[in-house]
Structure 1
Amino acid sequence: MKPGSDYNLKSIRKAFKTKGVFYTPPELAELVKSYIPFKPVKVYDPTCGDGGLLAVFDDDVLKFGQEINAPQLDVARERLVNFTGYCGDTLKDDGFADEKFDCIVANPPFSVKWEPDENDARFKDAPCVPGAAKADYAFLLHILYHLSDDGIAAVLGFPGILYRGNREGKIRQWLIDNNHISKVVAIPGKTFTDTAIATVLLVLDKSGKHESIEFTDKETGKSRVVSKAEIIQNDYTLSVNTYLPAEIIREEINPFELETELRERQLKNLKTGLEISRFCCQMEGLSLNPHLDTIIELVESFRQ
């Protein structure tokens, strides 16, 4: 990062946020980077914003980023070293069409509309082109296309990409069948600054060498490696809760304390009921004694 370039980022981000433009918190960027198991030569972010995800990589790493918002891209150019930026809509105008990268990191906008192109080379290997209503899988296929043969990508997304059906379900099945997903991480809401909603992180592997997928729940800290066969049995869902179900916490009950509390409630209810009955009897000029005798008989019947 260029010296002194971060001093006004908070005010810039605040201004962006009021206009509906968001950024990736530094802590979340570090988490994304932690899933890249090597130091890349070239790292690419297809929706780079102000360069937050790229900023966590060393200055000697070549950085490439595309961003539709020109002011944000200007911030990225100011703060990043060894950075090549391109302004434009990533899905409409691929600024790095001929490039391949050994590492890609991304936090694309969640479930935005887009304009599909059936003839786009980035989608030719997939079973179908993602629907126009949600671009999540269009970004995933774009990222996979730009990975080198042994490249790794860490991509943030909306949890719905793990289980939604139709075209997305077909593409997810294709990604799983071809071993292009190696890890799925559930990140609960409010884990980081400005991330109120839950997110997921997918690790994509272009090599296709992984026959299983590791699932991690950041809320519980639990992880589990799941075979492809089990995922197929679950209709190709990647929902973390399917493979790491929440534990049912059984509260220990003290029978003596429970019985004591129950007796206190019974006496309290009985007293309240008798007070109401006495008031009604006084209003109507009736005697409460027959009712009391009935209660006494009931109590006596329980004596040993």
Structure 2
Amino acid sequence: MSQPAQQQQPPGTESDLDPKADHGEQSYVGSGRLEGKIAVITGGDSGIGKAVAIAYAREGADLVISYLNEQEDAEDTKHWVEKAGRRAVLIPGDVSDPEHCRKIISTTVEEFGRVDVLVSNAAYQMTHETIEEISDEEFDYTVRTNLNAYFYLVKAALPHMSEGASIIGSSSVNSDSPSPTLAPYAATKAAIANLTASLAQLLADRGIRANSVAPGPIWTPLIPSTMPPEKVENFGQQAPLQRPGQPAELAPVYVMLASDEGSYVSGARIAVTGGKPIL
């Protein structure tokens, strides 16, 4: 089953997505697995970040949600978090700026006193058929947004994380099987997986875990805002399950990695790819 050919201006919005994505609004049921935890989620206004925010709130966490400028989407995420009885602090801004990354963490500490879970999820991509089409500025921006921000956030958060804390980086199936038309994005996603593996070893003696999640084709506003309409129409058909995944189908993995149930899971890259293996 395909979705209609469509296109949006980056970074895209949920309201213009056809069909609407499923973030677990009507389906995710929590069981207290993150009760009392404080979680930071970048890119938490839509897509995977939104689904993770809803799940974390229903599991008992209070949230800081970072997003670029999609205010309407962010307010909707906040609505679902508060409906679950938890707090949501919204922070707009560009994570490609290291000072903004540090502001996200300092605001979290001001509001909640600590960081228990850090989900570095915000990302930028754009489709290009040739390497010559990619400007120096776009390549640099992709690296700063996807990879450098992860480093800035982790470095800022570590003084406020204690034993049992969890760091989660959003990688991609592209980290293992790079799409040639998403070259800068794919390179950053491989680096995220690699950096996460280093963090798991560097932080083990502090009792802090680090893992990454490698999604396959997931239906989010990022897709119609960064791919041509004909690719959007067939998006996800290449997966063995022959469909794109929904953001809600990622949330349980992020919950497990954030929870104490994942206490011996560190250094992992977990594939949620609709059947495509990663090495």
Greater share of residues in strand: 1
For this structure pair, what is the TM-score category when the shorter chain's length is used for normalisation? 0.3 to 0.5
Task: Tell me the TM-score normalized by structure 2.
Answer: 0.47
- 1 or 2, which has the higher helix percentage? 2
- The TM-score, its normalising length taken from structure 1, stands at 0.43
